[in-house]
Every structure is written in structure tokens, then in C-alpha cells.
Structure 1
Amino acid sequence: MDRIHLMTVFVAVGEEQNFAAAAHRLGMSRPTVTRAISNLEEALGVKLVLRTTRSVRLTDVGSRYLDDVRAILARISDADEAATGTNRVMQGHLNVTAPVLFGNDYVLPCIAAYLDNFPAMSISGYFLDRVVNLVEEGMDVAVRIGHLPDSSLKAIRVGSVRRVLCASPAYLKSRGVPLHPEDLGQHAIVAATGVSPKIEWRFGRDERDISVRIAPRLAVTSNDAAVHAALLGVGITRLLSYQVARHLAEGSLQAVLTDYEEEPWPIHVVHGESRYGAPKVREFIDMLVSHLRKHPDLR
């Protein structure tokens, strides 16, 4: 058996943790799958799989080998797509993730345009207010807001956003406009958090940073709920500029303490190194990068 075939069988066994399930997934018999794993272990001279009567478990070497083999097979697939992509219709599936409001307002229009251009493509959009692990959760492309940790992922900067404090004009008229971060102690605060009723907000861009301990009058678990509460006049909230850009432009919300804002946060389109070689991914990334870089709210 050729090595690529053995690797493909090993990935199925490693992901399914069961020989019968791997055989069903591959359309093969269980003895054929078992023999392929034995042949691979013999060729490598190491134990990859620990077998019991009820389950299959990877050895430590097997777990590391699974990650490496996945990357190798992905590169082979990408190379095949890159070689044949110009001669065939773009087809397949993409998994894309972004924060909830950002995904709805800025990524979804690009997804719609992409699907219109490539009718044989499909996309799953995972719009979540948490950091999604691209490798473990099978994402092709992600939008990340904030400074990125060092990783093997590739990132393309497309813009920036600010953290802004804002409230409805009616609230500010009745309670006054804060002129210094310490004035927030005299105001009702709406915080988008479900973690703790005590929150520290930082202000400023240099060594003169100011920290203010906040006790929210209203704590909510989503950014859109914080926006809605601010629109209702509940109090002052702190959100990213794109989340309230429309309301600030319309005048239904008003920014405060703008002289004390932190440095802007970068926005990146993030992808796996090998994934960028696949035409379907490359086309989407190119469209998304161009779309986001042109957007006035993200400059």
C-alpha cells in the first residue's frame, strides 16, 4: 500500500478512535483498515495505536504523528486544487468564523458576494464572541480583533477599531457628560460581561494610563444586548467602535471620554499557512481582505 493511502487510513482511525467507524467512513472493511495501520506501524518502526477490545487510543507518538499527517494531507489537497483550479468550476465548502456583530455586519455581505460569484460553493459561518481554534475546529478563515499571539497561523491586517464609551443623548442630558474616567463612578454602567460584577477599565495610550474600577448597574452577556441597553438610556457602555458605528453616525448614541481612548485594536484575517494555497480559500480571503480594507468604519 502506498504511504498516502496509509496516512489517510490512520487519520480516519485517529479521528474516529474506532476501527469499525473508520472503516465505515472510508468505505473499507475493518480487517483492511486494521492491516493498513499495522503496515504503517511496521514501516515506521513505532507504535501508533493502542488497541483494546472496545476502543482505540493513540500513543503519544501517534498523537503527534496525527497532527503532522493532517498537515501533509492538507498540503497535498491544496496542491491538487491549485494545479487544477484554473481548469474547473470552483466548488466545495468553507468554514468561516468571526465575532457575532462583526460577522453579521461586515463578513456576511462578503460571503453573499462570494456565493453569488461561485454557485457551486457553500459556506458555514460561525459568528461567535469567543476565539475559535482554527485547527481543532476545522476553520478555513477567521477574523480576529485585537493583538495576536505568536502562532503558526498567517494573518493579514485589514484595519483597526477603537474601544469607545457611549450613551444615549437622553441619558447624558439627565446625568451629565463625564469629563474624566474617574467621573464614571457617578454614572450607571452597562457592561457586556457575565464573568464578574467588578470590572477594571483602562484608559490612555502611554505611561500615564488610568485604571478605573467599575461596578456595573447592568451586566449582560452579549455585545448586542449592551448596545440595546445603551440605546434605551440605561447607562454608559464600552464597546468596539464597529459595534456602535451606525448608532453614533445616526446620533442615537453619543461617544464620551474620547480623549482618553486606548490605542486602536488591529483587525486581521487569519488562515492556516497551507490553506491559503487552495483556490477556493484564496479567492475568499482576497475578497474579504479587499472588502474590509475599503470599509470606512474600520480605518
Structure 2
Amino acid sequence: MDQIHLMQVFVAVGEQGSFAAAARQLDLSPAAVTRAISGLETRLGVRLLLRTTRNVRLTEAGCRYLDDSRGILASIAQSRAAVAGMNAAPRGRLAVTAAAPYGRALILPCLVDFLKRYPEVEVSADFLDRSVNLVDERIDVAVQIGELPDSSLTALRVGQVRRVLCAAPEYLARHGVPLHPRDLQRHTIVAAAGISPGLDWKFGGRQPTTVRIKPCLTVSNNDAALDAVLAGLGICRLLCCQIAAELAAGRLQVILADYEEAPAPVHILHHEGRFGSSRVRNFIDLLAASLRAHPYMNQAA
């Protein structure tokens, strides 16, 4: 007999505690149920059930095999459902989050593309300046830049980004280009709290160093910091991907590239298994491809 069929019969008997009740549930004859259980015990070489005239009880091996069989049958059902739904158009609610500094630059373009492809999905996107709990806040997908804490979430690494010092050419023409991180102490600094929290800025290079800066302006919103730097106020540390358009147009200039810290890793986080919903799977596939193809992702200094 088919092993899956035998498992299904055994689980029905174990849960019902009766051959007759299991037969009714499975629409089989009592004799067919009896043959199935006997065949399973013979195949396994162990007694799974203790039969009396009044009831049926599980042996210790039967209890263990019942738990294992339930898990196997559930996995098979989940796999079948996933395969059956692979060609179905994604629909329903999709909740996405990323930190505000890069949500607009990295995630929003992908969300627009995704919604054009799958108009029956409803997306809720939160670009926040705080960490979130995906399970408690019912978030499906998150993008995080930086090292990951220990977590039960599934993490897919999609690249890395540079944190760069930048300024408007107008500002550098007036005040000069700093040649060493220590020179920053003589310059006007705009601090974006989301990228560089604290006053001690670390730098890499041949001799890693830390410089205590004294910003004239500290903002929690990176777009506001970017606006201030574009206006020629001073120097700021931002994500290279966030200022890609400004760099390409010459409105900003990267400085002290030889002293940058190591690029920060970028991960897509989610808590669904390999048989997750089609909307989550499709969005993660699209997002991963988009991030890996971004011109400022995985870029060397």
C-alpha cells in the first residue's frame, strides 16, 4: 500500500480512537482500515496500537509516530498548496518596512513596479526611523542595512552599500576639500541621525580613526539632511544609494572616499517559510533582483 495512505489511515485511527470512526471519516470499510494498520505495523516492525474490545490505545511508539505523521502530512499538504498556487496572481495585503533613509530610494521604486504587475495586491509601506517587530506588527517583508542581530527571521543578503561623506561643490569651493577625517573639525557638519548616530564618527583606511564632530545641524530625517547639504550648508554622511541622482548630476561630491568604513550589508527579512504566500514570494524575488541591480549597490569606494 502507499505509505502516505497508510499514514492517513493511522492518523485518523489515532485521533478518533476507533477503527469504525476512522473508517467513517475516510469513507473506507472497517476491514480496509484494519488491513491498512496491520500493513503499516508490519512494514515498520513495531506495534502502534493496542486493541481491546472496547477501545484502541496508542503505544509509546504509536504516539511518536502519530506526531511525526501529522507533521509529514501537513508538509505535503502545504507543498501541494504552494505548487498549486504558483501560477495564481498574487493578491491580498502586503506589509513592507524599511528605515526612512533608504526606503524612498531603494524600496519605493520596486513597490511601484510590483503594484503595476500585480494590481490586486494592497501594499502598506512604512518607512520609519525605528526598528520594528515583524511578527507583532504584522510586517511581511523588511529591508535592513547593517549587521543583523540573532533572529528567527529568514534573511536574504542582497548586497552592501557605502556610507559616504558628501558636500555640494559650492560649499567645497568656498571652504576647501578636507584631505583627512581630522579636517572635518574645521568644517560645517550636518548630522543625519539615522546614518551616524552619536558624535564620534569612525573612519577606515590604512589607519582607522575616530573623529568627534560638532554638527551645526542634526536632523532625524535624512531627506532633510540631504536638502541642507544641497543648499551648500556643509558636509554630511549619507548612504551612497540615497544620493545617486545628486552624484550623477554633479550636485553633490563624495569626499574622503579613502577613509570610508567597510560597506554595510543589506538584507531582506521575512518570517514566511519556503512555502509562503505568492505575494510575498513574488515581491521578495522582485525586490532582490532590483536591489542587486542597483547601480550603487555593491559599489567599491
- Scaled by the length of structure 2, the TM-score of the pair is 0.68
Task: Write the letter of the residue equivalent to 2:213.
Answer: I
Aligned to 2:91: 91
Residue in structure 2 matched with residue 134 of structure 1 by the alignment: 134
1:284 Cα deviation from its structure 2 partner: 0.9
Distance 2:80 2:193 in 1: 45
* Cα deviation code 1:33-78 (max 9, x no counterpart): xxxxxxxxxxxxxxxxxxxxxxxxxxxxxxxxxxxxxxxxxx9997
Alignment of structure 1 residues 66-145 onto 2, 5 Å: 82=82, 84-86=84-86, 88-145=88-145
1:31 aligned residue: none
Identity, % of aligned pairs? 52
Distance 1:298 1:276, change over 3 A: farther
Could you tell me how far apart the structure 2 residues matched to 1:123 and 1:77 are? Answer: 28
Q: Distance in 1 between matches of 2:175 and 2:120?
A: 55
Partner letter of residue 144 of structure 2? R
Deviation of 1:198 after TM superposition, in Å, equals 6.2
Q: Which residue number corresponds to residue 226 of structure 1?
A: 225
2:11 corresponds to: none
Matches within 5 A, 1:146-157: 146-157=146-157
Q: Is the 8 A contact 2:147 2:265 kept in 1?
A: yes
Which is further off, 144-153 or 128-137? 128-137
SS of residue in 1 equivalent to 2:124: strand
Compute the TM-score of the two structures, normalised by the length of structure 1: 0.68
Aligned to 1:29: none
CA distance in 2, matches of 1:112, 1:189: 34
Q: Which residue does the alignment assign to 2:297?
A: 298
- Provide the C-alpha distance between the structure 2 equivalents of 1:97 and 1:78, rounded to a whole number of angstroms: 27
Letter in 1 for 2:242: Q
Distance 1:183 1:282, change over 3 A: same
Deviation at 1:85, TM superposition (A): 1.4
Take 2:87 and 2:226, find their aligned partners in 1: how far apart are those partners? 48
Q: Deviations over 1:111-166 (max 9, x none)?
A: 22222222221111111122221111111001101111121111111121111111
The residue type equivalent to 1:136 in the other structure is D
Q: Secondary structure at the match of 2:243?
A: helix
Paired residues of 2:100 and 2:221 also in contact (CA < 8 A)? no
| Structure 2 counterpart SS, 1:243 | coil
Per the alignment, residue 175 of structure 2 pairs with 175
What SS is found at the alignment partner of 1:142? strand
Measure, in 1, the Cα distance between the counterparts of 2:197 and 2:96.
Answer: 33
Mapped to 1, the partners of 2:96 and 2:116 lie a distance apart of: 16
In the other structure, the counterpart of 1:266 is 265
Cα 1:137–1:181, aligned 2, differ >3 Å: closer, same or farther?
A: same
Q: How far does residue 100 in structure 1 lie from its aligned partner after superposition? A: 2.2
Q: CA RMSD in A?
A: 2.5
Code of the residue aligned with 2:167 in structure 1: it is A
Question: Aligned partners of 1:78 and 1:173: how far apart in 2?
Answer: 63
Distance in 2 between the 1:76 and 1:176 partners?
66
Contact 2:82 2:275 in 1 (8 A): no
Is residue 205–residue 263 contact of structure 1 (8 Å, CA) maintained in 2? no
* 3-state SS, counterpart of residue 274 of structure 1: coil
User: Structure 1: which 5+ runs fail to align?
Assistant: 1-74
Counterpart code for 1:254:
Q
CA distance in 2 between partners of 1:80 and 1:145 (Å): 35
- Structure 1 segment 19-58 matched on structure 2, within 5 A: none
CA contact (8 A) 1:95 1:141 kept: yes
CA gap of 1:180–1:82, structure 2 versus 1, over 3 A, is: same
In the aligned structure 1, how far is the partner of 2:233 from the partner of 2:262?
Answer: 27
Q: Name the SS for the 2:149 alignment partner.
A: coil
